[in-house]
Amino acid sequence: MTKVSILVAVYNGEKFIEKCLRSLVAQTYKNIEIVCVDDGSQDASSSIIESFMAEYPHIKLVKHETNKGVAHARNTGIGACTGDIIGYLDCDDIYAGDTVEKLVAVFDAHEDADCVLYRCVLVDKDGNTTDYNGLSFEALDGKQAFVESLTWNIHGVYAARAELFRQYNYDTSCRHFSDDNTTRLHYLISRKVYQSDAPYFYWSNPNSITNQISVLRMDYLTATQRMKSQLAELKCSEAILQTYEVERLKVLVDCYMFYYKNRRSLSSEDKAYCLSELKTGWESIDTSLIKTNIKKKLGYIPFKGCWSLFRLEEELYFFLKRISGRL
């Protein structure tokens, strides 16, 4: 019988972890282990997990003395997993009662399934739910899934055969966003990536980095540069490199928008840091990989070699968006 390891990275999750664990111990599929990694929490997270361990022996707990970030926490957890399949559950999210059962059914039915996507259900602050609006499919080969994930036409909430996680641990090149790189690499090396009807209830956390005014948003630029290097190391086709370079340009513009909208709330040091990271990201864009029709759009003209012109363009672009009510 297929054994499943569910990895739960926890950092100051005392408000959520009980509900998360209750959804796991209630699974209809019983051959599971639950591997929790407390990533240096300063609250009662570990105590709550330990109280569950007293009743449920298939729960493990590993602790970090200091907070290292979700990628490090997941890598620690992978080392403690003994299952044939590894899935994960963020501590503020939950499964339905039959999530693991439905997930395993897809793996068992398809010998070539290396990754299986959950049915990602988005939950807003009021408890309203909507399914992730992406590509509908039964199966894609690894390269197809990889390409679709570059633009998040398919989401990154999935389980995979354990050997994939061990071949490519979570990317720790920066504290935030680099875990997306690992997801994409898992898809790329898969024989097939399948969708399932296994619900994963993904809570839109208002305290996440994407919802905060924090210079950590600039980690997104570092993560995309690391992904670009990994694609080059894997000798991916020029078509893939072109697709990803367009996404990198979009990320650069998105990060500039963050700076434009929030700079009045940032210190002088933080503003200088953001501009430095934006310039580094801009310098790394390979304009030869970007089609001319994209490079001619206002806001996306790279102005290679002239940072001042690119900045002036972004200021104009977002000023126009603001006065038109689109920002």
For the residues 60-77, what does the mean pLDDT come to? Answer: 95
pLDDT of residue 205: 66
Of the pLDDT bands very low, low, confident and very high (cuts 50, 70, 90), residue 211 is low
pLDDT of residue 175: 75
DSSP notation for 181-218: HHHHHHHHT-SEEEEEEEEEEEE--TTSGGGS--GGGG
Contact predicate 17/49, CB 8 Å: yes
Of the pLDDT bands very low, low, confident and very high (cuts 50, 70, 90), residue 42 is very high
pLDDT of residue 125: 86
**pLDDT score of 208 more than 60:** no
For the residues 99-119, what does the mean pLDDT come to? Answer: 98
Contact predicate 123/151, CB 8 Å: no
Q: What is the mean pLDDT of the chain?
A: 94
pLDDT of residue 210: 55
Q: Structure tokens of 124?
A: 């807003």
Q: Render pLDDT for 124-179 as a digit per residue (tens, 0 to 9).
A: 988 999 999 999 999 999 999 999 998 899 999 999 999 999 999 998 887 777 88
Q: What's the pTM?
A: 0.88
pLDDT of residue 274: 97
CB neighbours of residue 105 within 10 Å? 17
Q: Render pLDDT for 251-261 as a digit per residue (tens, 0 to 9).
A: 999 999 999 99
Crossing angle of helices 179-188 and 219-233, in 10° steps, is 30
Could you tell me which residues come within 8 angstroms of residue 308 by beta carbon, excluding any fewer than 6 positions away?
Answer: none
pLDDT of residue 48: 98
Q: Render pLDDT for 261-314 as a digit per residue (tens, 0 to 9).
A: 999 999 999 999 999 999 999 999 999 999 999 999 999 999 999 999 999 999
DSSP notation for 44-75: SHHHHHHHHHTT-TTEEEEEESS---HHHHHH
